């Protein structure tokens, strides 16, 4: 095992490119600026998901615009020219801001979360948008909205962003005028209507954990039903395929930042479906990179086409596992 780990660490400086030369972007999900050193250690390129809510959760009041701008700016500077995708505040659900009343929602996962909360609370959303914009001059910063279910929300968020840009211009504060904006695709309606979002964004990022939960109506931390949580359900594969098609038809980059992306068994399937970027927990990056480098893109395409034909999620997973075992059995050894 130590031998395998050592081998994987040697990949740090190698590109995430398949054996037949197809480039995949392999980035990292982080929660704290302090995790940036893990990116270098494990050889991930840039941050595909910076979960900004952790700046908010362990303090009595929301952080000021200035202190947010400092954190985002330092991350941007350290990573430049690699990108950092900052997700706007994703609270609600199982993460309640200390400054808010507990919500007493019957079903918080179907409730006042993320962009829904932020659009209703410009006192919290505006300072964050301004802080991200201010940080953008220090590097390659991108903004991403979570939990968008309709274009009305997406347009409202973009209007708020434009207003913040206007303010900063008036104040003479520099920022990246072309800061890319993306939307998380993690609600079934967003996946089903991705083409309606395309004119309003520069990239899609599939949040598969939530997408699977909603598509199957399964809370995966509920022991009574977690056995129904199936990343390889045909419904999920259809949604992923649809989002990639809608994205690429509109020149939109498609990333995945859910746990699926960091599963060495599923990565070939995702690449075969046309996903452009896998954003994973830093520690998983070496394994995923190893799989990518030993994979042929043509085999990944074939695998994806086959998997779209299977009726059972178990068959899909088995076929995926066979391919990973064949090309990178040592990774499965590490995991088992």
Beta bridge partners of 83: 140
Site stretch for Mg ion (CB under 5 A), options 137-145, 201-209, 233-241, 325-333: 201-209
DSSP helix/strand/coil, 141 = strand
Q: Indicate the residue among 25 and 155 with the shorter CB distance to its own copies.
A: 155
CA distance 154 to 297: 34
259 near Mg ion (CB under 5 A): no
Joined together, the tokens standing for residue 36 give 């940036």
Binds 108, which of Mg ion, its own copies, none (CB < 5 to 8 A, cut-off by type)?
A: its own copies
Tell me how far apart the alpha carbons of residues 199 and 20 are, in angstroms, rounded to a whole number. 33
Interface mask toward Mg ion for 139-178; x: CB under 5 A: ----------------------------------------
222 binds, among Mg ion, its own copies, none (CB under 5 to 8 A by kind): its own copies
Q: Least CB distance from residue 320 to Mg ion, whole Å?
A: 23
Q: Which of its own copies, Mg ion, none is residue 224 near (CB under 5 to 8 Å by kind)?
A: its own copies
Q: Which member of 153, 210, 230, 263 binds Mg ion (CB under 5 A)? A: 210
Query: Least distance in Å: CB of 192 to its own copies?
Result: 4
Query: Which tokens is 204 given?
Result: 């899609």
- As a whole number of angstroms, the longest Cα–Cα distance in the chain is 59
207 binds Mg ion (CB under 5 A): yes
Q: Name which of its own copies, Mg ion, none residue 110 binds, using a CB cut-off of 5 to 8 Å depending on partner kind.
A: its own copies
- Collapsing DSSP states into helix, strand and coil, what is residue 106? coil
149 contact choice in its own copies, Mg ion, none (CB below 5 to 8 Å, kind-dependent):
its own copies
Six-digit token string for 230: 């199936």
User: How many CB atoms are closer than 10 A to CB 218?
Assistant: 18
Closest separation in Å from C-beta 323 to Mg ion? 28
Please tell me the distance from the alpha carbon of residue 138 to that of residue 175, in angstroms, as a whole number.
8
Task: Give CA separation, 55 vs 76, 92, 188, in Å.
Answer: 16, 15, 28
Task: State residue 25 phi and psi, 5-degree precision.
Answer: -90, 130
Distance CA 81, CA 86 (A): 15
Q: Cβ closer to its own copies: 187 or 295?
A: 187
Burial of 250 (0-12, 13-18, 19+ CB in 10 A): middle
Residues that bind its own copies (CB under 8 A): 94, 105-112, 116, 120, 147, 149-151, 153, 187-190, 192-193, 196, 210, 213-219, 221-222, 224-225, 228, 230, 233-236, 238-239, 311-313
Nearer to its own copies, 40 or 159 (CB): 159
What is the Cα Rg of the chain in Å?
A: 20
Which one of its own copies, Mg ion, none interacts with residue 207, CB within 5 to 8 A by kind? Answer: Mg ion
CB of 117 to Mg ion, least distance (A): 13
Two structure tokens written together for 160? 């708020």
Between 63 and 108, whose beta carbon lies closer to its own copies? 108
For Mg ion, the binding residues (CB under 5 A) are 186, 207, 210
């Amino acid at each position: 095992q130590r031998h395998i780990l050592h081998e994987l660490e040697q990949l740090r400086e190698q590109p995430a490119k398949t054996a037949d030369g197809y480039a995949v972007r392999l980035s990292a999900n982080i929660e704290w600026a302090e995790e940036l050193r893990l990116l270098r250690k494990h050889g991930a390129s840039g941050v595909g998901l910076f979960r900004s809510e952790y700046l908010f959760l362990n303090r009595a009041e929301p952080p000021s615009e200035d202190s947010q701008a400092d954190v985002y700016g330092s991350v941007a500077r350290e990573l430049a020219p690699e990108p950092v995708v900052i997700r706007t505040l994703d609270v609600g659900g199982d993460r309640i801001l200390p400054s808010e009343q507990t919500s007493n929602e019957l079903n918080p996962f179907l409730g006042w979360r993320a962009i829904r909360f932020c659009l209703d609370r410009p006192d919290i959303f505006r300072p964050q948008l301004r802080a991200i914009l201010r940080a953008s001059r220090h590097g390659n910063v991108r903004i991403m909205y979570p939990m968008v279910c309709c274009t009305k929300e997406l347009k409202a968020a973009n209007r708020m962003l434009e207003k913040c840009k206007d303010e900063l211009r008036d104040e003479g504060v520099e920022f990246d005028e072309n800061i890319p904006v993306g939307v998380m695709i993690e609600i079934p309606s967003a996946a089903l209507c991705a083409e309606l979002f395309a004119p309003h964004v520069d990239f899609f990022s599939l949040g598969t954990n939530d997408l699977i939960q909603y598509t199957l109506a399964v809370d995966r931390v509920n022991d009574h039903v977690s056995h129904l949580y199936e990343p390889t359900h045909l419904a999920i594969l259809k949604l992923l395929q649809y989002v990639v098609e809608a994205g690429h038809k509109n020149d939109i980059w498609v990333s995945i930042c859910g746990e699926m992306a960091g599963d060495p068994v599923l990565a070939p399937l995702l690449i075969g479906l046309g996903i452009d970027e896998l954003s994973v927990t830093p520690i998983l990056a070496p394994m995923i990179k190893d799989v990518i480098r030993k994979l042929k893109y043509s085999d990944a395409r074939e695998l994806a086409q086959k998997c779209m034909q299977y009726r059972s999620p178990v068959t899909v997973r088995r076929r995926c596992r066979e391919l990973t075992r064949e090309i990178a059995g040592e990774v499965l050894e590490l995991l088992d």
